[in-house]
Structure 1
Amino acid sequence: MADHDERLGQDGVGEPDAFERLWTPHRIVYIKGEGKPATGDEADCPFCRIPQMDDVEGLIVHRGEHAYAVLNLYPYNAGHLLVCPYRHVADYTDLTDEETLEVAELTKTAMRTMREVTSPQGFNLGMNQGNIAGAGIAAHLHQHIVPRWGGDANFLPVIGQTKTMPQLLGDTRDMLAAAWPKE
């Protein structure tokens, strides 16, 4: 262990503990925000641009009156959806009652639709409010809906910097859009 620390230019100050360390320096790009929109304004916001695209190009699964469901371009898991209000707002408390209701309804419908077509065993749901809380695009609120299956997480993304996805985004979009309940 001492030879390893010396190779890294670290002097090993401190007492050894029971933890092994898995160093992932490639993650610094994400932490520093490289590739994120340069500003927080609407002109630079992907969630404001996506609704201007056609559904296939924008990976839009469903359009509502106040919000829409879109596949995450960088999914954590297959079927990772985002529900975004059309209005460019950063904070959940800034949503109108109508927007709040539709974000909630679209989230419920997304979960039902995914259960019907992909049979996930669970879901992660969440909104990261602000950069410090992990929001990749903090200027435009978005709800994450991540389907989960037993054994879907492993060390490949950390060790191999690779995430295996069983289906192309376009195919996932088509499947979910076709199964989305018609109004």
Structure 2
Amino acid sequence: MTDDRLQRLWTPHRMAYVAGGENNPVGDGPDGCPFCRSQDRPDDEVNIVVRGEHVFVLLNLYPYNSGHLMVCPKRHVADYTDLTPGETAELASFTQKSMRALRAAQQPHGFNIGMNQGSAAGAGIAAHLHQHIVPRWSGDANFMPIVGQTKVIPQLLPETRKLLVEAWAALD
């Protein structure tokens, strides 16, 4: 075994995702899609923050930062250009509301917002469109991802979800 001088921080909870567990897509259809399957489960089980008419907002199970949200159409659709006008409008509106809720709950200094279209562009679940909203803080890009090859998330997902559900409700 070679000594690469890297220290290891073990994250066995990610193995279900890496090995193709229950959170991975199976094929391109809605039956194998984790976003489609999550819609039939209780919000607190799948970390859904809010549901709209055309879209829903949920926490990313493998977040880049605490509060990493995704806005997903309810319909199983892969490409942004295939959204209906109603889906497009609600996706935009829920992105704005998500930013407001995150500001109220976590006071981030900025955001990364975007979507990866297709697996070649980095989409982990390419068959179901989703927009990422990643809150950012000055200094959050520290040495851990570079030196420790890991990301530190300071809050458990259920705690983050509770704060965001409350913040979202206060917006209405």
TM-score of the aligned structures, taking structure 1 as reference length: 0.79
Cα deviation, residue 158, structure 1: 3.8
Q: 1:162 aligns with which of 147, 150, 168?
A: 150
Query: Match for residue 82 of structure 1?
Result: 70
Query: Match for residue 15 of structure 1?
Result: none
Asked whether 1:150 is paired with 2:138, we answer: yes
**Which contiguous aligned blocks of 4+ residues in structure 1 show a shift greater than 6 angstroms?**
none
The aligned amino acid for 1:91 is D
Q: Which segments of 5 or more consecutive residues in structure 1 lack a partner in the other structure?
A: 1-6, 9-32
Q: RCO greater where, 1 or 2, for CA within 8 Å and sep 6 or more?
A: 2
Matches within 5 A, 1:32-181: 35=20, 36-181=24-169
Equivalent residue of 1:137, what SS? coil
Q: Deviations over 1:46-72 (max 9, x none)?
A: 000111111100100000010000000
> In the aligned structure 1, how far is the partner of 2:70 from the partner of 2:39?
13
Q: CA RMSD in A?
A: 1.9
Query: Match for residue 12 of structure 1?
Result: none
How high is the sequence identity, in percent, across the aligned residues?
Answer: 59
Equivalent residue of 2:128, what SS? coil
> In the aligned structure 2, how far is the partner of 1:63 from the partner of 1:88?
15
How many residues align? The count is 154
Cα deviation, residue 37, structure 1: 1.9
Query: Match for residue 14 of structure 2?
Result: none
> In the aligned structure 1, how far is the partner of 2:66 from the partner of 2:150?
14
Cα deviation, residue 117, structure 1: 1.4
Segment drifting more, 113-122 vs 69-78: 113-122
> In the aligned structure 1, how far is the partner of 2:49 from the partner of 2:87?
18
Structure showing greater Rg? 1
Q: Which segments of 5 or more consecutive residues in structure 2 lack a partner in the other structure?
A: 4-17
Cα deviation, residue 179, structure 1: 1.2
The aligned amino acid for 1:105 is S
